[in-house]
Amino acid sequence: MKVPRISPVFVLLVFFAFPALVHATRIGDVTDLDWSEQTFRFLSLRDAAVRNAVLGSVFMGVSCGLFGGYVVARRLALFGDTLSHAVLPGVALGFLWSRTKDPVAIFVGATVAGLLGTVVVAWIRKTTRVKEDSALGLVLSGFYAVGICILTVIQEMEFGNQSGIDKFLFGQAAALSSADVSLMGAVAIGTLMMVTLFNKELLVTSFDEGFARSVGIPVEFMRYVLLVGLTFAVVTSLQAVGVVLVSALLITPAATAYLLTDRMGTLLLLSALFGVAGGLLGSYGSFLGNNLPTGPFMVLACTSFFVVAFFCGPKHGLISKWLRRRNRVRQVSFENTMKAAYQVLEAGDFSKESVTVGALAARRRTSVAEARREADDLVKAGFASMLGSDDDGPRYSQDARLSLTPAGWERACQIVRNHRLWELYLTNEARYAADHVHEDAEKIEHVLGEKVVRHLERILKDPRRDPHGSVIPSLEDIERGAGLSTNPASATGYFRQN
């Protein structure tokens, strides 16, 4: 598998953004211990309850994260939501039947209810004209309402009060028993096995079901495996996150991963990772807050990951996009200033080695102050230097002189060459009129890469002059102008012909 294209810095950022956030939630809570002692208690795993909560969160993160990857990639988010709500009557009935919080009874009840819910959805869709989304909504709300009714009945019965059935609504990781955790572990291991064994079958079925069927993949079977596995993952996670928010554990970590990668394998891995991290942070937060419901904390943690990825993701993140655009603008401004400097030098037949800020301003059609600022930027970026020291001469007047460094000179020549090659290409090959090509070239000159330039040189047969009669700068021009270039190979950039 390919290494995910995510900078480690980013991952660290995501991880460290959190403790601070979670601490903030405990302000105002009444706790006997200092939060650092509480943290120590949590991390040392001395309490059985803490151990169960931590293990449970990890298992839940793995199974929900992995299944979530398929749910998001296959656009089944609404389906996952429906499934997670449809299990509630099963949970309640399982409880009613066993009269205690018996994990097996609840597991069986919830699984049956969840599967029944999906069958009803398919049935409605097949036999009526109601579309899938409405069918899902119908089943979600209908089953959920039934579940709430039975829960209310249970709570009014004599064993209902100390039952802990309410934990199923909003989740309580600390209330997990060892039996619960074993069940979660079994599902997590099963999920891992499923993903490794059926990796390619799940991939092709998710991407192109028709094609999968045509190459003999048992599509129905894969769908069944996915459905049953998903139900198991949801049902075992109920106690940790609660019915209300369990679908978030399916969707949010996977959606976060989807922002960060373009490969299914990486997506599954990241999704599981975010699921585990969210689960752990959630149970930690709940622990600090004297066992507040875990579900909201876990979902909050996962959602925060998403927000961070949304803004800072290296590829699709808003901030990254904005930074890239800003860099681009800066680059274009640099290049335009250097090009202006080149043109001023060219107008003087390259008799001088420096240009005045005033000449630059005239060329760029800006104020002297603006040209001065641009010149300073160039100096900062190492593309030019100001002649003379601060004390002698007119440092801030329009007579201040700017000289391009070898790097700046090289880039200036490249830009001018790009511009003129492109103009020539448009007039000669694309049959543009000579007075139509300048504006286009103004934009294109900044984006032409070496490959395109080489190609242009080839089809234009290494031209010397552009359509307006100006010389297209070449290797010799650079050496003549720079003079001080020590390493011609690097100084010439892509000007040199092999």
Contact positions vs other proteins (CB under 8 A): 2, 73, 75, 197-201, 203-204, 206-208, 210-218, 258, 261-264, 266-267
- Token output for 352: 């001088």
What is the rounded CA–CA span in Å between residue 456 and residue 447? 14
Considering the complex, state which of residue 10 and residue 198 has its C-beta at the smaller distance from other proteins. Answer: 198
CB of 187 to other proteins, least distance (A): 20
Secondary structure percentages of the chain, helix, strand, coil, to 5: 70, 0, 25
Considering the complex, state which of residue 209 and residue 346 has its C-beta at the smaller distance from other proteins. Answer: 209
The CA-CA-CA angle for residues 253, 255, 259, to 5°, reads: 115
CB of 214 to other proteins, least distance (A): 4
- Order of strands, sheet of 355-356, starting from the edge strand that comes earlier in the sequence: 355-356, 401-404, 384-386
Local structure of residue 471 (DSSP, 8 states): B
Local structure of residue 402 (DSSP, 8 states): E
**Helical segments of 261-293, H only:** 264-288
Distance of CA 402 to the CA centre of its chain: 43
What is the rounded CA–CA span in Å between residue 181 and residue 326? 50
CB of 201 to other proteins, least distance (A): 7
What is the rounded CA–CA span in Å between residue 231 and residue 237? 10
Closest CA relative to residue 289, chosen from 26, 18, 17:
26
CB of 216 to other proteins, least distance (A): 4
Considering the complex, state which of residue 99 and residue 321 has its C-beta at the smaller distance from other proteins. Answer: 321
Q: What are phi and psi of 290, to 5 degrees?
A: 55, 55
Considering the complex, state which of residue 144 and residue 306 has its C-beta at the smaller distance from other proteins. Answer: 306
Paired strand residues for 386: 402
CA distances, 169 to each of 127, 238, 241, 246, 409 (Å):
33, 8, 8, 10, 68
- Residues 6 or more apart in contact with residue 323 via CB below 8 angstroms: none
Where do we find the tokens 């391009």? 404
Closest CA relative to residue 68, chosen from 193, 322, 248, 303:
248
Considering the complex, state which of residue 210 and residue 469 has its C-beta at the smaller distance from other proteins. Answer: 210
Closest CA relative to residue 146, chosen from 194, 190, 96:
96
Considering the complex, state which of residue 129 and residue 365 has its C-beta at the smaller distance from other proteins. Answer: 129
CB of 417 to other proteins, least distance (A): 26
Considering the complex, state which of residue 204 and residue 471 has its C-beta at the smaller distance from other proteins. Answer: 204
CB of 107 to other proteins, least distance (A): 27
Considering the complex, state which of residue 257 and residue 371 has its C-beta at the smaller distance from other proteins. Answer: 257
Considering the complex, state which of residue 315 and residue 465 has its C-beta at the smaller distance from other proteins. Answer: 315
The CA-CA-CA angle for residues 466, 471, 472, to 5°, reads: 70
CB of 274 to other proteins, least distance (A): 15
